[in-house]
Structures are given as structure tokens and as C-alpha cells.
Amino acid sequence: MKQGLLVGLIATIFHQNAFADDSVLHRVAIDGSKMSQLGLLDAANAGVIGKKELASMTTYRPGELLEAIPGLIVSQHSGEGKANQFYLRGFNLDHGTDLRTTLDEMPVNQRSHAHGQGWTDLNFLIPELTARMEFKKGPYSSTTGDFSAAGSAAMLYANRLSQSIASVTIGQNAYRRALLAASPDFADGSLLYALEFTGNDGPFVNPDKFKKVNAVLRYSEGFANNGFSLSAMLYRGKWNATDQIPLRAVEQGDISRFDTIDKTDGGEAHRYSLSGSWRRTATDDASKISAYLINTGLDLYSNFTYFMDDPINGDQFSQPDRRVTSGLNASHTWHSHLNGKNTDFTIGTQLQNDNVFNGLHKTKARQQLSTVRQDHIVETSLGLYVDMSTRWTESFRTNFGLRHDQYRFQVDGDRRENSGKANDHITSPSASLIFGPWSKTEFYVNVGTGFHSNDARATLTTIDPQSLEPTGRSLGLVRARGSELGMRTEILPGLQTSVSLYRLDFDSELSFVGDAGTTEAGRPSRRHGIEISNSYQANDWLAIDFDAAYAKARSCDFDPVGNRIVGAVEGVAQLSAVVDKLGAWSGALRLRYFGPRALLEDNSVRSKASSTLNGRFGYKFSPTLKLELEGFNLTNRRASAIDYYYESQLKGEASPKEDIHFHPLESRSFRLMLIKTF
């Protein structure tokens, strides 16, 4: 579709995405089939992905489970233990900014993080435990709040497994994984436990030596709508990192595509959490409460410019981050049936506090040389929302939401000029009109506003800690405005199709400034886009999915450097086929297209598009014993997982040079997994 036509199709209009009935959603997830979602969702850009669909994904790393969301790309530019890079709706979301991610209502995004606002590390995720994932796109939900302007992904672990699992996986590049998970009856409920060990060197000259351990323990009673659960989770990881490398070094033959400049880059991380949830559902109302306490830590060592700032010791820096995050979510819903009109009215609150100690240090071979900045941050937020969904007639319903967020930032830094307290607040209305279904087709009009928070340090910094020059403070909360037209249809037997046309405006983009150890509020932006998602159940044994998305992202103000948004993805697509119920055989293939991105504001340097093919096939020796072979990058494409363009200086170079810096897509590899259920 030509850009002019696309822009002409995009209108100003509207959404909020309320998942209507928890019991229905739970049934969808447990069945795992692609049941009709007509009448359940308030937008074409939203959906519920069940356990069976998630299990059909062939993923190189746990974070790629989010690629089940149409239009979302998950990448990596460093060692396996580092948070992934995300791309959605014309955004380079860095490590999670503007993509809100939760597990069992616990936030995964980390605010005011040492390496990037919204840091989203999913290495603690165990895919086999994930019962379902609910996704939404755009600022149309009063329930999601911070980081959700581009989209949100809410994952939920099962309280009980249908079968206990023991699996062992071995693969190329020293990949190994062992998993044990079960949920026996215990006392008056169920005790779910899981233990996972993983190791991976990757194809790199300097092996990743990634090692992690995951553990989950959960006690639950009752059902999804009436019951409670108490959970404890543990994750620890350690790795070396092959960060992005300069293209010139490869073309000159100094290093190979899988080599690195600084062999001491890497890190280690941990995440420990305690959480609980309680739900009660009656005929006329429903309540739910969840609370959590999360202890996370990261020691990250990176070197992106090599010897540009310090020709003697090199430019490696460390970004330690230690935090305790606590929070409470509560909501109550009243169901009304007055005058034949069904209305759900919900009030809710979300309280979160982050107590953070982080910093930025210059290092050499992971040994500290000096401190650029060091801060103690306390960031507290309170979100209040109301949400009302009404079915006025058989073919017309609405959803209206209103959210208010209050933030308090406190920074005690090593510089008095960059310390203090700040406050900000924002109110975010949203609305959706849903027409239909007519002939198994619904139409959606969605409008709303949302926001993302800035790094607490950015709201109080007045002196650049690196250059010692004066700098301006940033707003604490930045508004986003969205509008959307959508359609969902199941008029053709076996085929589910959704189409969305959207516009999203931001008052300012966020960019991470490594030298200062903070995020910087940038220029205002606008994105137009179209998304198409198709799911076709051809017969009992074959399912085909095709998703495609195009986005045009531009800065709104004038600047002679240009108006392109660096790293903004333009087009993405996925085509997958899943084969099951062919006797003992099963399998899947997935082709992923990752479109080009502008690497400079004037579009003079661009990344190349890439296409990769992953797949697997399995054979059941018995109802309880299965062997699977997974393959990644089956065509062995020499593509980039990510590209940047900036200045760097190699050892022996007289001055810095601008260049493309890339992290290679991993070469073709295979993994063999033996799965025993009992």
C-alpha cells in the first residue's frame, strides 16, 4: 500500500480494551484453541493467546514468546542474560519503554533503571508454565498505565498443570536445559513447583557462557474467579556479552562477524519475588486483589565506543542497579442489568514503590576506575481508574475509561545539583465504540490518551555528570494520544481476521544517554500505521497464521538534521504453519520478516531488512514421551539482529569514525528435546 493512501485511510478515532468475563477468558486459555473472540474484546488490536498457541512457538530465548503478539519483534544486541530489544508499531522500544509487560500482575518493566527506562528482563520466564497472554496496543485502556502507549502484554502462570513435565534439551553451541515442573494436590489446594537450569555459549568467538537457574513455588486454592494463590519465584543469571561491533572491523578482516572488541563485557542479574492474589466472583459483582514484593539486581558491563573517550583504558562502563519493588493492585466490578442493558462498572487502584540504588562507573575489565554518578532513588506512584462497559443493543456496545496517576520522584545523588524531589500527575481518558457483530463481523472506533514516565534522575538533573555543563530538567510524565479504526471478522469458515488503522502522537520521545546514565526527553513524534492479522484453521491438523504491519514514524517539529525517528521499524510480518494430530507427528514453521529502519534522522543511513525461518518437528513414542527437534535460522542468513549508527574508535585509529554497529543474528543451530509427562 502506498504511503499516501495509507495516511489517507488513517482516521482520528478510538478504544479501550476491557476483557469482559474472566471465566470466559480462562476457558479460552485452558482449551488452547482459537475460539471466537467476537464480543469479548473492545478493539481489533487486542487479543488473548492461549496455552496451545504459546506452546507452538519456536523460541530461541524466553523473551521471544512475546512474538506471539502480531506485529511485535523481539531482538538482542548483547549477551543472552541482558534484557531483549523490542519493536512494535513503528517504535524501537529499546529494552521495554512503551511496552508494558506483567506476569501475574507483577510489573516486569523497571522504572529509572541504570541502563534504560522500562528495562524488561524476561529471562526469569518459564514458557511451559504460561497459561495465557493478553495483549493490547495503543493508549486505550484505563487499566494498564505507565509504559503501555505502544502496547501491553499480560502473562499469567497456571495454578495447576494438566500434566507434570520433565524435559532435557541439548543443542549446538553448548546449549543445555533441564526442566522439572508439577502441581500435585496439597492440603486443600494445589502446590505448583518448577525448577529450570539453562546454559548457552552461542556462536560467538568469546562464548556467552550464559548460565541461569529459575525456580517457582505456588500454592493455590479454588478457581480462577474464586480463589487465591501465593507464589515465590527465583532467578539468577550470569553471562559474557558480545555487544554490537563496528562494520569496518569486519570488512577490514580484523574480527569475524561473531567476534567482539571488548571481551570483558557481560553481567549478572537476579530476581526474587513474593506475590499473592485473591479473587471473588458473585452474580452481581467481582473483586480482586494482588500484591507483590520484588528484589532485583543487575551488574552490567558494556563498551560501545571502545577507545574513543579513553585511549588508554578503553570506554567500558558499568551500570549497577539494585532495587526493591513493592505494589498493590485492587479492583471491584459491579454487574448491572437495568432496562435490558448489561453494564460492568469497575473501580481500581494500582500502587507501586521502587527503592533503587544505581550508578554509572568507568571500568576496565570489570574493575572500577571512577564514578560518573551514583544515586539513591525512591519513586512512588498511585494510579486510580474507573472503567464502564455497556451493551446498549445486540449490535452496539461501548467502553469508557478514566485514569489518574500521581508520581513522586526523590533522588539523593552524589551531586547536590542533581538531587531533590519532584512530583507530576496526569489524567488519561479513553473510549471505545463497538458495532456488531453483523455477519460475524465487528467494527471498532477507539480513542484515548496514555503516558510514559521519565527516569527520575532526568526530572532533577541540572548538571551533566560527564561534561559538568548545565542541563534542563525533563517532565516526569509524557502524554501520548491515540486514535484507531478496527475490524474483526470471522465471516469465512475457519478464518479469523482483524485489521487496524491507527495514529499515535507523543509529546516527546525517550532516548537513553549512556554517558549520563539517564533518559533524555526528545522531540515530539507521530506514527501512522496499519496492521493485519489472520488466523486460519484449515482442518483438524493444520493451522496457518499471517500477520503484517506497516508504520510511518516521524518527528513533528522542524530540525535541519531531519525528521526520521532513529531505529523506528517500518514493516514487520510473520507467516507460520502448525501441524498437529497427524498420528505421532507434529511440527511448525515460522517465517519472520524484520523491516528496515532509519539509522539517522535524515534517512541517509538505513539498516537492511531480514527474513529468518525457524521450525520444529516432534514425534510421540507414547502418550507420555515425546522427542522434538528445533531449528533456528534454518536458511543460515547472515543478517543483523540489530543495527546502530554512531561514532567509535578502535585501538590504533587516530580519531573516531562514524560507522554502522551491528549484532549478528545467530547462525543456524539445532536443539533436541526429550519431554516426559506424568
- Residue range 597-613: average pLDDT? 95
- Residue range 522-529: average pLDDT? 90
- Here the cell at position 294 is 520484588
Structure confidence at residue 225 as a pLDDT band (50, 70, 90): confident
Provide the pairing of β-strand 106-107 with 99-103. Answer: antiparallel
- Here the cell at position 645 is 549508527
C-alpha angle 82-84-87 in degrees, rounded to nearest 5:
160
* Spatial separation of the C-alpha atoms in residues 221 and 229, rounded to whole Å: 6
The b/e string for 597-610 (b: 16+ C-beta within 10 A; e otherwise) is: bbbebeeebbbebb
Least reliable range by pLDDT among 24-28, 115-119, 271-275: 24-28
Give Cα 102 to chain centroid, integer Å: 9
User: Three-class SS of residue 320?
Assistant: coil
pTM value is 0.91
pLDDT digits (tens, 9 = 90+) for 67-116: 999 999 999 999 899 999 999 999 998 898 899 999 999 999 999 999 98
Q: What are the φ and ψ backbone dihedral angles of 339, each rounded to 5 degrees?
A: 55, 30
DSSP 8-state class, residue 666: P
- Residue range 343-366: average pLDDT? 97
Q: What is the pLDDT of residue 31?
A: 37
Q: Which residues pair with 220 in a beta bridge?
A: 190, 229
pLDDT digits (tens, 9 = 90+) for 170-185: 999 999 999 999 999 9
Please say if the pLDDT value at position 29 is more than 50: no
- Here the cell at position 466 is 560527564
The answer for residues whose C-beta is within 8 angstroms of residue 504's C-beta and 6 or more apart is 89, 90, 138, 139, 149, 150, 480, 481, 482, 526, 527, 529
Q: What is the pLDDT of residue 405?
A: 98
- Residue range 459-484: average pLDDT? 89
Q: Are 581 and 33 in contact (CB under 8 A)?
A: no
Across the chain, what does the average pLDDT equal?
Answer: 91
Compare 464 and 443 and report the one with higher pLDDT. 443
Q: Are 385 and 347 in contact (CB under 8 A)?
A: yes
* Spatial separation of the C-alpha atoms in residues 583 and 587, rounded to whole Å: 12
C-alpha angle 333-13-148 in degrees, rounded to nearest 5:
55
At 207, the amino acid letter reads P
Q: What is the pLDDT of residue 466?
A: 82
